[in-house]
Structure formats: C-alpha cells, structure tokens
C-alpha cells in the first residue's frame, strides 16, 4: 500500500479500501483512480468490473500493473450495482481492511471530498457523503431529477423511520466491523436499493450514522446506469418494507395498549378486592364488638 505524505484528518482509521464498480467506464477510469491516488494516497482502490464490453476491465488490469495500490475484481457479467458492491465488500473484508468506501466511477463523487467523509468516521460508524444537508449540493441536475432524489429520500425516511436526509446517496464509508454486522440483514443486490438497505440496517442496529456535505456533479462522460425501471423497483421495495415496518409498529402499539389495559384491570381488581376485604373485616369486627358488649 502506498504511504501518505503528511498528516491527514482521517489518520488513525487503519487500512482503507475504496471500492469502484465499473461497467463501460473506459472514459472515466483513469481520471477517477488518478484523482483518488492524489486525494487519499494511503488508501487502496478496488475496481469491480462487470466484464465491460468497452474494455474497462483490461484497462483496470493495466492500472494495477503500474500501481500495486490499485486492485481489480473481474466478474462474469452485469449483475447490478448492489451485487458489485457486495462482491467488493467481501473481497475487502477477507483481506482485513479497516474501512471500506463506496465510490462512483464517473466523477460524480469528487475524490477531493473523500478525506472529509473519512474523517467523519472518528465520531461515527457509517458516514454518508450527503447532497441534502447544509453545505451539500448537486451540479448539472435538472429540477425534476433533484425533486425525484429529494422525494425518494423523504419517502424512505417517512416509511422506514430512518433519520438520514440523503438515504439514497452512494458515497458511503463504513468501519469494517459495522459492515460485517449489517451485511447479515437483507440487502437489495440488484440496484440502487443497496444504499437504502445499508443505511436502514445500520440505523436499526444502533450504529451512529453521520452525514458530511458533498457537492455531487453529474457525469460528463459515459452513460448513466440510472433508469426508470431501477427507480420504480426501488420505490416498490421501499413501500413493501415500509408497510411491513409500520404494520409491526401498529401491532406493537396494540399489544402495549392491551397489556396496559389488562394491567389496569388487574390493578382495579386488586383495589376492589382490597376494599371489599377491608369492608368485610370492618363489619366482622363491629359484630364481634357488639357481641362482646352483651356478654360483659
């Protein structure tokens, strides 16, 4: 692993692995890896390529040959963003990295902002590079796409009770032990739902999630992998999870109310019993006193 030159805000976190899934990113792979090597020189990079027809995988191998801090994981074909990240997580955890990072290949995540995201792990278990907190922004997005992204995160927050503003954001950093734990829970392997599920799992298991503002820039080269079907599937799945979660909350509320009513009934019964016993004892004592006065 290359060594850092000078102190950085994320020093002390241990070995860092930045995972970059690729599919037809030949126009961006040199740019993104080169900027990452400058921005976080003490981190390793793992390119997870889904057998890109444009030879991104071959170029990744050439980058690895020139720089031992760049690694490549070749997969058989395009199986979805979630599956690519899960494969990358598995690769990194097997090799005992301490911090693992999700990072886009297209330049929308700026490597120069990664040190600030990593620094957040000093006080948190998971850090999200967030577009929707104060200081965050998007560049070159049409209004309808911004509204879709903001609305999607809001919908997830309302349906699933996740106190995170940018739930769907894809720049995420994890402590390795946290990642090992939350990967045991269900995770969407096919699309962008992986960001929702990782955030949800971390929240429900009590881990500290921090959001660090980033400026997200729309890609200028290559084609976006986002599609209407991906968004639709994510919304459907979120609705299913939300209905299940809210149903469980409702059932738990009814159970607590019933238990409270039963407890109140038991207390009332005990009170009535105590009053009845006291009244009975009083009557009995009065009768006894009357009887004793007649005999004296």
Of 211, 51, 48, 59, which is closest to residue 135 (Cα–Cα)?
A: 211
pLDDT greater than 90 at residue 73: yes
Predicted pLDDT of residue 295: 42
Q: Residues with Cβ < 8 Å from 167, sequence gap 6 or more?
A: 152, 153, 156, 157, 195, 196, 199, 200
Averaged pLDDT, 217-241: 75
CB contact at 8 A, 22 and 105? yes
HSE-CB at 25 with a 13 A cutoff on CA atoms is 26
Q: What is the pLDDT of residues 132-184, one digit of tens each?
A: 999 999 999 999 999 999 999 999 999 999 999 999 999 999 999 999 999 99
- Per-residue pLDDT at 143: 92
Judge whether residue 2 has pLDDT over 50.
no
What class has domain 16-226?
A: alpha beta
Joined together, the tokens standing for residue 97 give 């990295």
Residues 83-109: pLDDT tens digits?
999 999 999 999 999 999 999 999 999
List of E strands, the chain: 16-22, 44-49, 70-74, 99-102, 126-130, 137-139, 172-175, 209-213, 215-217
Is the per-residue pLDDT at 4 higher than 60?
no
Which residue(s) pair with 126 in the sheet? 174, 209
Residue 296, pLDDT above cutoff 50: no
Mean pLDDT of 244-261: 81
Domain boundaries, the chain: 16-226, 227-296
Would residue 193 be called left, alpha or beta, if left means φ above 0 and alpha means ψ between -120 and 50 degrees?
Answer: alpha
């Amino acid at each position: 692993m290359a060594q850092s030159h000078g102190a950085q805000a994320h020093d002390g976190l241990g070995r860092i692995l930045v995972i970059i899934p690729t599919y037809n990113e030949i126009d961006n792979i040199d740019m993104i890896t080169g900027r990452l090597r400058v921005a976080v020189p003490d981190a390793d990079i793992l390119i997870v390529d889904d057998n890109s027809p444009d030879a991104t995988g071959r170029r990744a191998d050439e980058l690895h040959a020139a720089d031992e801090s760049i690694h490549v994981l070749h997969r058989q074909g395009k199986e979805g963003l979630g599956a690519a990240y899960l494969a990358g997580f598995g690769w990194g955890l097997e090799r005992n990295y301490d911090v693992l990072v999700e990072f886009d290949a297209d330049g929308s995540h700026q490597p120069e902002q990664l040190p600030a995201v990593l620094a957040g792990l000093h006080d948190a278990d998971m850090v999200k590079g967030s577009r929707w907190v104060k200081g965050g922004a998007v560049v070159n997005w049409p209004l309808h796409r911004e509204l879709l992204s903001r609305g999607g995160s809001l919908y997830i927050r309302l349906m699933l009770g996740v106190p995170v503003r940018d739930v769907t954001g894809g720049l995420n950093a994890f402590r390795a032990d946290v990642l090992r734990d939350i990967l045991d829970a269900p995770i969407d392997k096919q699309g962008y739902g992986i960001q929702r599920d990782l955030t949800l799992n971390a929240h429900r298991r009590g881990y500290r999630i921090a959001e660090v503002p980033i400026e997200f820039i729309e890609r200028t080269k290559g084609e976006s992998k986002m599609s209407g079907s991906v968004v639709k599937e994510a919304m459907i799945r979120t609705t299913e999870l939300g209905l299940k979660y809210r149903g469980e909350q409702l059932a738990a509320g009814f159970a607590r109310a019933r238990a409270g009513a039963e407890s109140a009934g038991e207390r009332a019964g005990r009170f009535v019993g105590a009053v009845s016993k006291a009244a009975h004892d009083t009557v009995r004592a009065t009768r006894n006193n009357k009887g004793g006065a007649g005999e004296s």
